[in-house]
Every structure is written in structure tokens, then in C-alpha cells.
Amino acid sequence: MSDVHHPLEPLDGRQLRTFITLAKTGSFTQAGRELSVTQSAVSHAMKALERDIGCRLFDRLGKKVHLTPAGEHFLHHAERIVGAMTQARTTMGHLEKWGQTHLRIGASAEASQHILPSVLQEVLRNFPQILLTIEPCDDAGAKDLLEGRRIDLALTLRPEANGAMQFEPVFSDELALFVGPDHPWVRAGHVARADLESQPFLRCCKGSRTDRLIDAYFKHENITLNSAVEVGSMEAVKTLATLGVGVGVLPPWVARRELREGSLAMFPLGKRKLKRYWGILHPSDLPLTLAQDAFLRSCRERCEALGLADSGAAASDRGSHDGGSTAGASALPPLHA
């Protein structure tokens, strides 16, 4: 047998499977039958494998073949290699299926409650076999989940720095003041600027992006808020404001029902608007799948139906600043000096 071999060349997976089958059956004929190939093909494969690794693997005794000591040693390696190859193929198959049938979305509790239900309904209508997972998170958590590849997309505020993420604008909203129906502002029909600092304010998710935007907004206006209660959700802010506990700062789309029923009243923050810009955040190195693109389009359609989608959402991604002034008259009642 030739001593010439090529240790750097990869072993042939079909030859390894043939070797394992022949080792177990001890017969070229039986091995060929199990592999659906001819006896000659088995023989040629074994000769090529022995040539590649540079040693004899089988001894022939009549019609049966037996492993040599080298063959027995090589069998352990071959089984591990083929096992790893099979596992890799299975895993990649699952990943491919997972990517096609599983859409993992990060979103805030408010977005999950007020925006996503009809969006998910539309996605499921177009992709009936898909599995949808909604991961509750704020904007900071969404970026962490995306970077860890634990979610595919996030409906979130525009990040201060995109990094390795792509931001697809969807809508913008404007924060406003919310109070219960018995609040003096409701009877007066306006908000006096001098009255703001004396009001108990309901602070939502202290340290969050929105909380920081609100804080920066009032600091710019030289107004110091009296934070009376700190809560962990906008739903809690709404409930407490309805009961007259304090004043909340919210986007109108989370309080549509309360405004319609009259259990909350809304007033503008001031002459300057405090706008936030929302969109779909996803890894920039991965193109959107059909299901992900459908989710993005459904989000835009839903927000348009809610009256949220506007040109400002797209324009914001070209250089506008969160919390900055925007031109045009507010549709909310005026704030009085």
C-alpha cells in the first residue's frame, strides 16, 4: 500500500459512512444493500479511504471482512465525525425551519396592547404556520435582545445611536398632560404654566428613555416637577390620573378609550411639542424575511389607521431630534402663561 497520503485534505463523508456500514455488517454485499450501492462501489470507496489515510482498515477472511487494529481505532473517529455531521445537518435544518416559522418581536407593554394585536392578526392571516413570540422590553432592553439575537425585530423608539442596527421609521407621537375629569384644569379649560410646579406628577418608568425626555423637556422650560408617585407602566399612570392622584405625561394613543369616555382629560405640555419617533429596529447585517417585512408593513398600516403615521416619522430619521420643537399649531388646548 502506498505511503502517500494527504493529511490536510478533508475526509469524504460518504466514504466514512460506507466504512462504518461495512465495519458493522462485515460484508461488502450487505453494506452495498444497506447503502443502495453496488458491492464494487463499496470496494472502491474503501480502497480510496485507505489510500487517503495511509493504512489498511480491513482484513478479508473468505467472504467476510474484519477490522484491523488500525481500523478499530479509526472506527471511533469515523463515528464521531459522521455523528457531528448529522447533528450539524439536523441543527441547520431546525434553524432554517425556525427562521421561516418563528418571528420574535420585542415591544413595550403599551405597544403590545394598543398597536400589535391587529398587526399580529394580519401577519397570522398571511403566514398561518408562523409562531409569534412577543418579548416585553423597553428601548434599551430591545437593543440588548437584538444584539444577543434573542429577538428578530423590535418596535421601539428610535435609538440615540444605531450601531449595528437598522431603524425603519413607522410613526411619531406627541406627549401631553393627562388629568382626571374633576381636576381644576378641566373646569378652567386650560393649564396655567405657574401651576405646573405645584401639581403632583405621576412618573412612569424612572430612568427610561421617555422619562429622560420628559425631564429634559421641563428642565429646558425651567420647570421643576413635583414627582409624587413613581410607577412602572403607563396603564398605572392612567389609572392614578383618573382617580385624581396626580398628573400624567402620556402619548394620546394609549388613552383613546379614557378620552372617549371622559375619564381623562388631555392638555398640551406647552408651546414646544415633545415628540417621540418610533420604528422597527433590526440587525443591519440581516435582510428582512418575508414575514418580517410583512410585520413592518402591517405596523405602518395600523399606525396610519390610528392617525399616528405621518411624514415626521420618516423625516426624523434624517436628522430631527427627539423632544425638539416642531412647527405648526397643536390640536390640543393651549397652555396659558
CB of 267 within 8 A of CB of 259? no
CATH top class, domain 13-99: mainly alpha
Confidence grade of residue 319 (pLDDT, cut at 50, 70, 90): very low
At the fourth CATH level, which superfamily is domain 174-275+329-336?
A: Periplasmic binding protein-like II (3.40.190.10)
Give tens-digit pLDDT for 73-127.
999 999 999 888 887 776 665 555 544 578 999 999 999 999 999 999 999 999 8
Domain residue spans of the chain = 13-99, 103-170+278-308, 174-275+329-336
Confidence grade of residue 163 (pLDDT, cut at 50, 70, 90): confident
Give the separation between CA 218 and CA 247, rounded to whole angstroms.
14
Confidence grade of residue 312 (pLDDT, cut at 50, 70, 90): very low
Give the mean pLDDT of 210-224: 94
The one-character DSSP state at 286 is S
CB atoms within 10 A of CB 224: 10
Q: What percent of the chain has pLDDT over 90?
A: 67
Continuous H helices in 102-159: 109-114, 116-126, 139-147
Quote the pLDDT of residue 160: 87
Reduced to 3 states (helix: H, G, I; strand: E, B; else coil), residue 238 is helix
Which residues, listed in sequence order, are joined to residue 157 by a DSSP beta bridge?
278
Give tens-digit pLDDT for 45-67.
999 999 988 899 999 888 899 99
Q: pLDDT: is 306 or 258 the higher one?
A: 258
Quote the pLDDT of residue 95: 53
Check for a shared fold between 13-99 and 174-275+329-336.
no
Backbone phi and psi for residue 21, each to the nearest 5 degrees, phi listed first: -65, -45
Quote the pLDDT of residue 335: 42
181 pLDDT higher than 60: yes
Quote the pLDDT of residue 337: 37
Q: Does domain 103-170+278-308 have CATH number 3.30.300.30?
A: no
CA neighbor of 279 nearest in space, from 307, 309, 252 = 309
Reduced to 3 states (helix: H, G, I; strand: E, B; else coil), residue 90 is helix
